[in-house]
Amino acid sequence: MLTKRQNLLETIHGGKPDRFVNQFEFMHMIYSDPYDLTDPYPEYKQVNITNNWGITLSWPEGTPGPFPVQDDKHKVLKDINDWRDVVKAPNLIFPEKDWEAAIKEEESIDRTQEFATVFIAPGIFERLHYLMGMEDAMMNFYEEPEEMHELIKYLTDWELQYADTLCSHLHPDALFHHDDWGSQLSTFVSPSMFDEFLLEPCKQVYRYYKEHGVQLIVHHSDSYAATLVPEMIEMGIDIWQGVMTTNEIPELIRKYGGKITFMGGINSASVDHPGWTREEVAKEVRRACTEYGKKFYIPNTTQGLDISTFDGVYDAVTEEINHMSAEMFEK
């Protein structure tokens, strides 16, 4: 029987996996680095938590994750032209003793089974609209492109500094990076605008990780982003996590399998809701596994962590994927 790590590699390289990769099983996420420990973040049902960027976030009950509070009182950046005075990147320099917990955790990981994974959220695009609001961000791409380029460079430089601290202390071999690039039906910006503003910064960040020992780049965007898959491949993403059914996944696998793997295919909204049943979970998992196949695909709910909004859903999906492995793979 292959280890979790071996099975993942067989799956993404088009080899001979002996079962489905089961959701997030191949990643051991490290959340104990000193920046992560000192950056305030809302827990489920918490509201109005202000992080180290000055962004206020809330995670209301019944929702899949936190989102910034962007009324006039809480919005950080109200005029893009003021960003140099307003946006202050948090400190990333910590005493070595503050790294002890994360290093101890990293050393405990069995890397024959799991990838030691660092976690980054939000990404560059999300950080932009976290700071100024989605409407202002969209307008500023058109009306203030020079200022947006400069702000993106500032955010990218901070991400690269963070990458340096993580790689030098924890030597990860995987990165799980969030940056939602679309709604359920469309990307937020066109591919040409994405190329103009975001492709090179994302390539720069992901290239840094790859050049410093990271073997696996997993990018979360629970959205439509099929038109950005060529960009994902160009920037070095190995797995797109959160791929929704609106992306025509079989066609993506046929066209891009071998260059990138698709992780998701089970829309969280379809199974993770009040009154969910085991029967509907089993039906949806069966549909995904049989429709998308055994290679270049990892069955998973589209939520961006190994959790569910409603108790029991993630575990039920995991169990049903195991049932499909027993049914679809030779022993």
Question: What pLDDT was estimated at residue 128?
Answer: 98
Residue 87 scores a pLDDT above 90: yes
Residue 158 scores a pLDDT above 80: yes
Q: Does residue 85 fall inside a structural domain?
A: yes
Q: Does residue 104 fall inside a structural domain?
A: yes
State the total domains in the chain.
Answer: 1
How many angstroms separate the CA atoms of 87 and 76, rounded? 8
| Structural domain boundaries enclosing 113 | 25-270+295-303
Q: Does residue 5 fall inside a structural domain?
A: no
The full DSSP string for 99-166 is GHHHHHHHHH--TTTSEEEEEE-S-HHHHHHHHH-HHHHHHHHHH-HHHHHHHHHHHHHHHHHHHHHH
List CB contacts of 136: < 8 A, sequence separation 6 or more: 77, 78, 80, 129
Q: Does residue 205 fall inside a structural domain?
A: yes
Percent pLDDT > 90 in the chain is 98
Residue 33: pLDDT band with limits 50, 70, 90: very high
Work out the number of other CB atoms within 10 angstroms of the CB of residue 147.
Answer: 16
pLDDT tens sequence across 43-54:
999 999 999 999
pLDDT tens sequence across 13-26:
999 999 999 999 99
Q: Does residue 213 fall inside a structural domain?
A: yes
Question: What pLDDT was estimated at residue 293?
Answer: 97
Work out the number of other CB atoms within 10 angstroms of the CB of residue 254.
Answer: 11
Question: What pLDDT was estimated at residue 166?
Answer: 98
Longest Cα pair distance anywhere in the chain, in angstroms? 62
pLDDT tens sequence across 255-266:
999 999 999 999
- Range 129-150 average pLDDT: 98
Q: β-strand 56-58 against 49-50: which pairing, if any?
A: antiparallel
Residue 330: pLDDT band with limits 50, 70, 90: confident
Residue 32: pLDDT band with limits 50, 70, 90: very high
- Range 76-82 average pLDDT: 98
pLDDT tens sequence across 303-325:
999 999 999 999 999 999 999 99
CATH of the domain at 37: 3.20.20.210
Question: What pLDDT was estimated at residue 242?
Answer: 98
| pTM score, whole prediction | 0.97
Query: CA nearest 112: which of 4, 219, 193, 198?
Result: 4
How many angstroms separate the CA atoms of 188 and 96, rounded? 40
Question: What pLDDT was estimated at residue 331?
Answer: 65
How many angstroms separate the CA atoms of 217 and 74, rounded? 33
Both tokens of residue 37?
Answer: 């420990």
Q: Does residue 218 fall inside a structural domain?
A: yes
Q: Does residue 278 fall inside a structural domain?
A: no
Q: β-strand 239-243 against 261-266: which pairing, if any?
A: parallel
pLDDT tens sequence across 216-260:
999 999 999 999 999 999 999 999 999 999 999 999 999 999 999
- Range 55-77 average pLDDT: 94
If you ran DSSP here, which 8-state letter would residue 182 be given?
A: B
| Phi/psi of residue 214, nearest 5 degrees | -80, 120
Q: Does residue 86 fall inside a structural domain?
A: yes
Question: What pLDDT was estimated at residue 141?
Answer: 98
Percent pLDDT > 70 in the chain is 100
